[in-house]
Amino acid sequence: MRTKLVAGNWKMHGSLAANLGLLHAVRDGAGGAAEVALCVPYPYLAQAQAALNGSKVAWGAQDVSEHAQGAWTGEVSAAMLADFACRYVLVGHSERRSFFGDTDAVVAAKFVAARKAGLVPILCVGESLAEREAGITGEVVTRQIDAVLGGCEITDFAKAIVAYEPVWAIGTGRTASPEQAQEVHALIRSRFAREDAAIAGGLRILYGGSVKAGNAAELFGQPDIDGGLIGGASLVAADFLAICAAAA
């Protein structure tokens, strides 16, 4: 049985003052069987570590450099994230792919860097609205996965997570129906099963795309959906905790 995971992605939101109440509320309210994590902006990793250390809630970052060290001004390495006891790091989020030019090859390199540092990468994959309407969702998602598989061992996914995030459903209020989401999650699992059935069976695949308290239970009830990657709702403690409760 795969343990559900609900991971919050704060994106570029927060302040030291505002974060404290949110971190404490999530820390104190998280319970049940589901695992909970918060991926916060780099400047707030120390604050998250201090607030969440010893609690049920894990923390992580929203991106990582593919480089280990060197003259890469503005970049943050996986080892630096490990210094703050991060468990998770997002790689290949659609906003990184769309706005910052992260290619499939760059995402693959970031995944490898994260694993080498002992982090659990949350590999984000998903299609745009144009790609869904063109009927090539499966091709796009498979290409994104294959790029990473080409740069690592299948065993790396024993300590990794995949998040399916249809780009057309992020921050738009539109959500893939539970059946649409399940179809892609099943496709993702079948792709990994071609490499290793045991790893595919244990792989946690999250859904990300306008998940709210009102639709979380139905989404998480699908056989291949193992939790959620939560954006806007993770900024409101009550909303985020209600989603966590739906996964328990």
Q: Cα separation of 190 and 64, whole Å?
A: 28
Distance set, CA 82 to CA 72, 85, 123 (Å): 18, 5, 18
Do the beta carbons of residue 160 and residue 120 sit within 8 Å?
yes
Q: Cα separation of 220 and 218, whole Å?
A: 6
pLDDT-flagged residues of the chain (< 70): none
Do the beta carbons of residue 40 and residue 61 sit within 8 Å?
yes
Res 5: pLDDT: 98
Q: Cα separation of 185 and 14, whole Å?
A: 31
Res 176: pLDDT: 84
Res 174: pLDDT: 75
Catalytic residues: 93, 165
Q: Cα separation of 16 and 48, whole Å?
A: 10
* Terminal Cα-to-Cα distance of the chain (whole angstroms): 13
Res 209: pLDDT: 87
